[in-house]
Chains A and B, each alone.
Chain A
């Protein structure tokens, strides 16, 4: 786990990533809290907190006595939410760095449009 961000958020994000890329299918069972704790070598209470965050927002649901499962429709919902975060996480720093280097928005746009060809 990386420093500086609550581990439970990182656990929640890892599970979200697995759902987004299809590693965890909808209606599939999610690794247990204890499995997550042992695998990532973290405190089980922290792993449980990460899982519960996703239960609270409806990404996962609990089957009594069996475990946690991915909700139907979770993938589309996650994608929508991640798109909203995309601007803040990626576009804003891109613009800040561009301004520092004197790259104006038109030039930046041109770079994005032609990037695949340049490579």
Chain B
């Protein structure tokens, strides 16, 4: 299967700030990817470059085997739903009509059904929509466009839990019927952890993790108990975090753990908990930030904001 996206040594600098630092990965066709990372990690910049809305400083990007800039063949097959999309002053139905013109795969009936699901008033001017309604509109466009490559960049500002669940359910159902490549960038990791097949984790412009979600599950464990026993157990993995209370310690470790390790923890008298994807991401990105010296990069990035 040929990759839909290939990124090789991609670097993006803004006035001395490195937003992306030699990032390389590829996206396989018809998978749902989770693009995760803290605010300012470089996720949006990456998606902007992949959708020709920003320029790389150096490195190679191909989308559907071609470079994306001013490339109609690529861009007509791509949909990018941004966190705070603004629309010209017009009715919701006109926005949907405009979106249908630029996306060859657009499904009008599906858009109509989604509009009902999200209870979006079709005749209202977009300027009069609430923040949550605007997010719904973005989601409707992203889903109904059925673009072979769809990016959702934190698409649900102001959306309530019910609407978010509708989004996940419709995404999953429609993806099943019409497989396509979806990149979902979000901070609500717990909510999407079972929808995504593959995880890309970016931290301070670097790709920290490029792994199957299923492989990650069970790789990060938290063990607690007597310090000596914890020390014994953590010898087999990379320790990400540790807290102490008297003679008791709790450590988060990453490794290729299996049933034998669970038995080992039990024999050592340790409590063992598996990390959720969200905990794993928090630990991995905190570990990096914590260990990194307060260097020039972090300082200049603060100034930039």
A residues whose Cβ falls under 8 Å from a Cβ of B: 1, 3-8, 34, 37-38, 40-46, 49, 88, 92-93, 96, 100
Residue of A nearest to B220 (CB): A4
Residue of B nearest to A43 (CB): B197
A residues within 8 A CB of B74?
A: none
Q: Is the interface of A mostly helix, strand, loop or mixed?
A: helix
Contact B266 A92 (CB under 8 A): yes
B residues within 8 A CB of A44?
A: 172, 175-176
Taken together as a complex, chains A and B put the C-alpha atoms of A34 and B275 apart, in Å, by 27
B residues whose Cβ falls under 8 Å from a Cβ of A: 31-32, 168-169, 172-173, 175-176, 194-197, 213-215, 217-218, 221, 259, 263, 266-267, 269, 273-277
Contact A6 B197 (CB under 8 A): no
What are 28 sample pairs from A and B whose C-beta atoms fall under 8 A apart? Answer: A3-B275, A4-B273, A4-B275, A5-B217, A5-B218, A6-B214, A6-B215, A6-B218, A7-B194, A7-B217, A34-B176, A37-B176, A38-B169, A38-B172, A38-B173, A41-B168, A41-B169, A41-B172, A42-B195, A43-B32, A43-B172, A43-B194, A43-B196, A44-B175, A92-B266, A93-B266, A96-B267, A96-B269
Contact B214 A49 (CB under 8 A): yes
Taken together as a complex, chains A and B put the C-alpha atoms of A71 and B276 apart, in Å, by 35
Taken together as a complex, chains A and B put the C-alpha atoms of A98 and B263 apart, in Å, by 16
A residues within 8 A CB of B266?
A: 92-93, 96
Q: Given that A4-B275, A100-B269 are known contacts, is A41 also in contact with B218, CB under 8 Å in the complex? A: no
